[in-house]
């Protein structure tokens, strides 16, 4: 039967794709005498990519996941405008200030400390109020590191809307802030009094950015390494492969723990450490594609034309390898996010105080009496990873050659 389907396909192709893909006959602009007036299609998507996009859209779950994810990502990219302990805009004494972009000394507003203005400080607020300043705040008046000075209970404190009369009575009796005067903590505070919602927003952004950067950088390295191995083959391939085998047999996690206890872990240090190992993932895939592709006749034809190795790899072979790579990327990204969360959870990740979802989860473990910590962390991570996986599935469908050429 296999034999048959192949002949069939050849038959279809040989008849000019009469039954193959008639809907893809591109519209050609009316040609001039030399056919010169026909516009090249360089600025449009090729029919192949249009078909892929249609396949992607056909997977409704993946398609909506992509939109949902993009909206979340773009919104959290502007986290400073959603959750911030500085006003977005102040009109004070006939002058305009943008605390969200610039740091102003509090002397600007009549205070006398000379330090950076703390707009949540009641003392500074009195100066602002006196001058009838116009302030525009973000919807959430906490940043990820802002500590709530007026909590209704000891930290971690409950989401404000969950407080009942008993809690209010307790707060009044023990000298905590009265229920009527509270600032809203929609998802409560963590054990250091920081707003969980603000930390979640910043944490989501950090995780996605970290995953994105790690994925892109490790893909670039991995693809380059795989391409060189696959295209040149022989000794290059042999030595590189052995090196990778040794490299991947290094116990990753332990090494990460050791390095992160020596170096002060920051965003870029962590990125570098994880990069040491994550680039290997795509190498085998790309290498196999290049090994397969380098003997295609159109590659031979390009070599006969005198096209240089670099150009052949980039223009002819890379597009082939990209299909396999693209299919993999969302999964690489979700596992990058997971690694970061896991390291943070263990306490070997981002420096203390960073808005990290892993740290939120580890706090939840330490404070079982405060379920809002665990639930927030869990749902955020679960949503993010699920969306990435759904998108990945749709991408896989989109690049499925059986669907593309069907």
Q: Which of 69, 226, 300, 314 contacts another protein by CB under 8 A?
A: 300
**Among residues 21 and 271, whose Cβ is nearest to another protein?**
21
What is the closest distance, in whole angstroms, from the C-beta atom of residue 217 to another protein in the complex? 26
Q: Which of 78, 81, 243, 405 contacts another protein by CB under 8 A?
A: 405
Region 7-66 residues binding another protein, contact defined as CB under 8 A: 7-8, 10-21, 24-26, 28, 31, 34-36, 38-41, 46-48
Q: Which of 258, 308, 366, 382 contacts another protein by CB under 8 A?
A: 308
Q: Over the chain, what HEC string results?
A: CHHHHHHHHHHHHHCCCCCCCHHHCCCCCCCCCCCCCCCCCCCCCCHHHHHHHHHHHHCHHHHHHHHHHHHHHHHHHCHHHCECCCCCEEEECCEEECCCCCCCEHHHHCCCCCCECCCCCHHHHHHHHHCCCEEECCCECCCCCCECCCCCCCCCCCCHHHCCHHHHHHHHHCCCCCHHHCCCCCCCECCCCEEHHHHHHHHHHHHHHHHHHHHHHHHHHHHHHHHHHHHHCHHHHHHHHHHHHHHHCCCHHHHHHHHHHHCCCCHHHHHHHHHHHHCHHHHHHHHHHHHHHCCCHHHHHHHHHCCCHHHHHHHHHHHHHHHHHHHHHHHHHHHHHHHHHHHHHHCCCCCCCCCCHHHHHHHHHHCCCCHHHHHHHHHHHHHHHHHHHHHHHHHHHHHCHHHHCC
- Report the alpha-carbon distance of residue 328 to residue 330 in Å, rounded: 6
What is the closest distance, in whole angstroms, from the C-beta atom of residue 228 to another protein in the complex? 17
What is the closest distance, in whole angstroms, from the C-beta atom of residue 396 to another protein in the complex? 19
- Report the alpha-carbon distance of residue 229 to residue 299 in Å, rounded: 16
What is the closest distance, in whole angstroms, from the C-beta atom of residue 293 to another protein in the complex? 10
What is the closest distance, in whole angstroms, from the C-beta atom of residue 232 to another protein in the complex? 14
Q: Which of 74, 262, 264, 305 contacts another protein by CB under 8 A?
A: 305
**Among residues 60 and 315, whose Cβ is nearest to another protein?**
315
Q: Which of 81, 247, 298, 379 contacts another protein by CB under 8 A?
A: 298
**Among residues 10 and 174, whose Cβ is nearest to another protein?**
10
Burial of 311 (0-12, 13-18, 19+ CB in 10 A): exposed
Contacts with another protein by CB under 8 A: the residue count is 52
Q: Is 306 a residue that touches another protein (CB under 8 A)?
A: yes
Q: Which two tokens stand for residue 368?
A: 């079982």
What is the closest distance, in whole angstroms, from the C-beta atom of residue 60 to another protein in the complex? 18
Q: Which of 223, 225, 302, 373 contacts another protein by CB under 8 A?
A: 302
Applying CB under 8 A, the span of 113-121, 229-237, 316-324, 383-391 interacting with another protein comes to 316-324
Adjacent-strand bridge partners of 275: none
Q: Is 406 a residue that touches another protein (CB under 8 A)?
A: yes
Q: Is 233 a residue that touches another protein (CB under 8 A)?
A: no
Q: Which of 74, 262, 264, 304 contacts another protein by CB under 8 A?
A: 304
Q: Which two tokens stand for residue 342?
A: 């896991």
Applying CB under 8 A, the span of 1-9, 167-175, 189-197, 378-386 interacting with another protein comes to 1-9
Q: Which two tokens stand for residue 199?
A: 């930390």
Region 325-364 residues binding another protein, contact defined as CB under 8 A: none
Applying CB under 8 A, the span of 5-13, 95-103, 153-161, 342-350 interacting with another protein comes to 5-13
What is the closest distance, in whole angstroms, from the C-beta atom of residue 16 to another protein in the complex? 4
**Among residues 15 and 236, whose Cβ is nearest to another protein?**
15
Contact residues toward another protein (CB under 8 A) are 1-4, 7-8, 10-21, 24-26, 28, 31, 34-36, 38-41, 46-48, 296-298, 300-309, 315-316, 319-320, 405-406
């Amino acid at each position: 039967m296999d034999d048959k389907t192949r002949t069939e396909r050849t038959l279809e192709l040989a008849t000019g794709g009469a039954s193959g893909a008639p809907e893809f006959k591109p519209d050609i602009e009316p040609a001039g005498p030399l056919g010169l007036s026909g516009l090249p299609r360089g600025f449009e998507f090729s029919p192949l990519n249009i078909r892929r996009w249609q396949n992607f859209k056909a997977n409704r779950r993946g398609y909506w996941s992509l939109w949902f994810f993009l909206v979340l990502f773009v919104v959290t990219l502007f986290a400073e405008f959603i959750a911030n302990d500085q006003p977005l805009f102040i009109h004070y004494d006939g002058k305009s200030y943008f605390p969200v972009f610039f740091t102003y000394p509090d002397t600007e507003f009549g205070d006398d400390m000379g330090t950076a203005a703390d707009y949540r400080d009641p003392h500074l607020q009195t100066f602002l109020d006196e001058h009838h300043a116009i302030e525009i705040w973000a919807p959430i008046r906490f940043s990820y590191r802002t500590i709530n000075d007026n909590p209704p209970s000891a930290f971690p404190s409950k989401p404000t809307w969950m407080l009942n009369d008993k809690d209010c009575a307790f707060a009044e009796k023990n000298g905590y802030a009265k229920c009527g005067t509270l600032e809203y903590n929609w998802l409560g505070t963590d054990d250091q009094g920081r707003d969980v919602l603000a930390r979640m927003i910043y944490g989501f952004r950090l995780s996605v950015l970290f995953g994105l950067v790690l994925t892109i950088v490790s893909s670039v390295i991995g693809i380059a390494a795989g391409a060189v191995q696959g295209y040149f083959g022989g000794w290059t391939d042999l030595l590189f492969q052995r090196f990778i085998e040794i490299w991947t047999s290094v116990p990753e996690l332990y090494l990460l723990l050791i390095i992160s206890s020596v170096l002060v872990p920051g965003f870029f240090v962590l990125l570098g450490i994880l990069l040491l190992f994550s680039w290997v993932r795509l190498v085998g895939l790309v290498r196999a594609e290049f090994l397969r592709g380098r003997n295609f006749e159109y590659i031979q034809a390009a070599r006969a034309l005198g096209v240089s190795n670099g150009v052949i790899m980039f223009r002819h072979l890379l597009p082939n390898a990209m299909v396999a790579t693209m299919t993999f990327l969302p999964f690489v990204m979700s596992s990058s996010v997971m690694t970061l969360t896991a390291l943070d959870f263990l306490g070997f990740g981002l420096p203390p105080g960073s808005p990290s979802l892993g740290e939120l989860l580890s706090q939840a473990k330490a404070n079982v009496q405060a379920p809002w910590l665990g639930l927030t962390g869990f749902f955020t991570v679960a949503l993010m990873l699920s969306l990435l996986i759904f998108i990945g599935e749709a991408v896989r469908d989109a690049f499925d050659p059986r669907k593309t050429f069907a």
